[in-house]
Amino acid sequence: MEPASTTGGSETTRLVGPRDRGGAGGALDLFTEAPEPLPEEPKPMEMSFHHCHREPLPQPGLTPERMQAQRQLCTACAVCCVFMAGEVVGGYLAHSLAIMTDAAHLLADVGSMMGSLFSLWLSTRPATRTMTFGWHRSETLGALASVVSLWMVTGILLYLAFIRLLHSDYHIEGGAMLLTASIAVCANLLMAFVLHQAGPPHSHGSRGPEYAPLEEGSGEPLPLGNTSVRAAFVHVLGDLLQSLGVLIASILIYFKPQYKAADPISTFLFSICALGSTAPTLRDVLRVLMEGTPRSVGFEPVRDTLLSVPGVRATHELHLWSLTFTHYVASAHLAIDSTADPEAVLAEATSRLHSRFGFSSCTLQVEQYQPEMAQCLRCQEPPQA
């Protein structure tokens, strides 16, 4: 019998005659060959970076820098509460508006630190379809709440100091004021020490929260720590200046009671200093909320960097902004030559923006260069502010 074969599925079945088996008569044997192995599916490979992302996926929870900021804020908040209670008692016993002013500033410190702690927790929540950038900007809102609370309390105390300067019907206990003012100075020094950050070596973008305002185009932020801690530290420095002024006034009133006007005068002068110390923080917060160009990044350097990428003829629709003081975002259109490789241009441009300016997120659209782009109004650069 001649052999015949049929194939079905992944197996092959053959009918075998006597000459194939050697001495088996006219019987037919049926056997099954082993199936051919199917091609293996590719296994996911471990990659240091994803196909289009410059950094690994962030781990859930607080970063080490923010955990340090949380510990600092918790410690400073506890110290602040203890000494605030002491100043309220001391100010009441001494009949000193300056001491009560310092206590009110400590109350503002407590509120702002608690708000900062809440914003740190809130910023760990992942991005959603509604909050596509996540909750990073809550940290900036916490800094804004800290500054606004200080300005409100200071405004009230300035009004009370002005009333005391107009009317002299008040008495101050010099000894109690001197003791309380001395304790207040120690308290503010302790809080300033807790909040002060030497910080690790600086890093850019989402890799670390170091921040300090610099001149445009420098691209090297100084390590002054988390935004919330920075705002609280500046806040405490303002309180420390006021406490020193109150201490000087208390010494004067203790030895010269007839100079009791030093109490409202010190309140007036050092409240203004506290307002001035928070002005830079307020300016930076408003810059972030208004989606202005980050202070440590210049428009022209970023534009020139993109134009220096091989194959790029022009750039337009360039937008630079930040979610926080350290989380920079950029988007732009890149017009390239017809001979340029779009993937290579995209990779090189993204790499340069990340390494030179610390952008955490870059969205670049690559398109063919057209001569009419030079006359297009929407393709022109924005004017100077």
CATH 3.30.70.1350 range(s) for the chain read: 299-375
Q: Which H/E stretch holds residue 370?
A: none
Q: Does the pLDDT value for residue 18 go beyond 50?
A: no
Give the distance from CA 85 to its chain's centroid.
32
Residue with tokens 């740190």: 120
Which of left, alpha, beta for 23 (phi over 0: left; psi -120 to 50: alpha)? left
Q: Does the pLDDT value for residue 93 go beyond 50?
A: yes
Contact 318, 298 (CB under 8 A): no
- In angstroms, the CA 316 to CA 308 distance is 14
Residue range 56-64: mean pLDDT, rounded: 59
Least confident of 85-99, 189-203, 236-250: 189-203
* The amino acid at 148: V
* SS3 category, 337: coil
Q: Which CATH architecture has domain 64-199+227-290?
A: Up-down Bundle (1.20)
Query: Could you please report the per-residue DSSP string of 255-304?
Result: H-GGGTTHHHHHHHHHHHHHHHHHHHHHHHHHHHHTTPPPTTS-HHHHHH
Strand partners, 322: 328
Q: Which H/E stretch holds residue 27?
A: none
Give residue 226's pLDDT band: very low, low, confident or very high (50, 70, 90).
low
Retrieve residue 357's tokens.
Answer: 């300016």
Q: Please name the residue ranges forming H helices in 28-96.
A: 64-94
Q: Given this model, what pLDDT does residue 56 score?
A: 54
CATH 1.20.1510 range(s) for the chain read: 64-199+227-290
Q: Given this model, what pLDDT does residue 222 score?
A: 36
Range ranked top by mean pLDDT from 74-83, 110-119, 229-238, 311-320 = 311-320
Contact 300, 217 (CB under 8 A): yes
Retrieve residue 144's tokens.
Answer: 């804004």
Tell me what the pLDDT averaged over the chain comes to: 75
- In angstroms, the CA 348 to CA 126 distance is 29
Q: What would you measure as the largest C-alpha separation in the chain, in angstroms?
A: 136
Q: Does the pLDDT value for residue 8 go beyond 70?
A: no
- In angstroms, the CA 354 to CA 366 distance is 17
Rg (CA), the chain: 34
Give residue 76's pLDDT band: very low, low, confident or very high (50, 70, 90).
confident
Q: Which of 373, 355, 385 is nearest to 317 (CA)?
A: 373
Retrieve residue 62's tokens.
Answer: 């607080």
257-295 confidence digits (pLDDT tens): 888 888 888 878 877 877 777 788 888 889 999 999 998
Between 375 and 32, the more confident residue is 375
Contact 188, 236 (CB under 8 A): yes
Candidates 3.30.70.1350, 3.40.50.1970, 3.90.700.10, 3.40.710.10; correct CATH number of 299-375?
Answer: 3.30.70.1350
Q: Given this model, what pLDDT does residue 347 score?
A: 93
Q: What is the DSSP pairing of strand 328-336 with strand 359-368?
A: parallel
- In angstroms, the CA 361 to CA 106 distance is 38
Contact 143, 149 (CB under 8 A): no
Question: Is residue 46 exposed (0-12), middle (13-18) or buried (19+ Cβ within 10 Å)?
Answer: exposed
